[in-house]
Structure 1
């Protein structure tokens, strides 16, 4: 399903394999990837394969690209998906490093959360981030989330495990 949401500075839209070059810009950046669960993309074919594997028509997953209205450039991606074990919607996001610190992720995520709340109804959201990732802590706080509990997570390939915080917001 093709989705499109607009904010003051962004167009949030479904991404496709045609977006692989733009997505590879952040998926291959070690600074962006440092705390991510996916391994560093070392080849654009990895990005294309990941995009082909996505279920963009899923009813319980809303993952959208962040396009700057001013330039039309795809600069990040994020969304939420339902986690049955937590009975909450989990958030996640990526943003090209040169756009960090401009409030774009909270702007995008607030719009996605509002969209999904109207479509599905949300009673809680959660977000997990490495304890050393102060930028993600700030995003969670801007989304009205607070500390819930300590946790750990690992990269999909097992190359790193992070002590983390799980933040939560109930509606």
Structure 2
């Protein structure tokens, strides 16, 4: 399938409902993973199942990718075949561009996996989805995410404020853009 991507150390594949347990216990239910993002940690496996339904890939009968407002992959370590995170492209209304997003288990932080996965996803976006410009942002305090964006070649454009999905909290962020080439 065209939506499976292989890198040096990873397989990137669409997530399925069968991934609910590992996703919930690995990263979607982890408050520390969700510290700097606009979504709330999942409170139950049911939250994760609903999220997996929302991000399901849409394809026609012969496997062609249909336009969607998100393209999310599960990150699988080749060496162990362990699913340890997810990331991809999410349509951002305020910018009228796709934005990258990613979350991985804390046990896999600081190994370069997110940068490796997102490099492959950006190449896919340019070659298969025709995306020419993409956004990225991070909470100012999230220095690890800043490093990922910088390694990917994103260029800082401005500071901003992001509202948390709970509608109560807000956090200062830094906004970046990247011009993609085929």
Q: Distance in 1 between matches of 2:19 and 2:151?
A: 28
Secondary structure at 1:31 match in 2: coil
2:55–2:71 CA contact under 8 A, matched in 1: no
1:88–1:123 CA contact under 8 A, matched in 2: no
1:90 equivalent to 2:99? Answer yes
Q: Distance in 1 between matches of 2:167 and 2:93?
A: 23
Secondary structure at 2:41 match in 1: coil
- The equivalent of 1:11 in structure 2 is 11
RMSD: 1.7
Q: What's the CA shift for 1:158?
A: 2.2
Secondary structure at 1:13 match in 2: strand
Secondary structure at 1:165 match in 2: strand
Q: What's the CA shift for 1:156?
A: 1.2
Q: Distance in 2 between matches of 1:153 and 1:41?
A: 20
* TM superposition outliers: structure 1 runs of 4+ over 4 Å: none
Q: How many residues get paired?
A: 171
What are the superposed Cα offsets for residues 67-105 of structure 1, whole Å, 9 maximum, x if unpaired?
Answer: 000111100100013446534331000011111111100
- The equivalent of 1:153 in structure 2 is 162
Secondary structure at 1:37 match in 2: coil
- 1:101 aligned residue (110, 135, 141): 110
Q: What's the CA shift for 1:160?
A: 2.2
| Mapping 1:72-87, distance limit 5 Å | 72-83=81-92, 85-87=94-96
- 1:113 aligned residue (112, 122, 143): 122
The TM-score with structure 2 as length reference comes to 0.87
The TM-score with structure 1 as length reference comes to 0.92
Q: Distance in 2 between matches of 1:120 and 1:77?
A: 19
Q: Distance in 2 between matches of 1:169 and 1:150?
A: 16
What are the superposed Cα offsets for residues 11-34 of structure 1, whole Å, 9 maximum, x if unpaired?
Answer: 000001110011112111121010
- The equivalent of 1:42 in structure 2 is 43
Q: Distance in 2 between matches of 1:4 and 1:54?
A: 15
Q: Distance in 2 between matches of 1:88 and 1:144?
A: 17
1:137 equivalent to 2:146? Answer yes
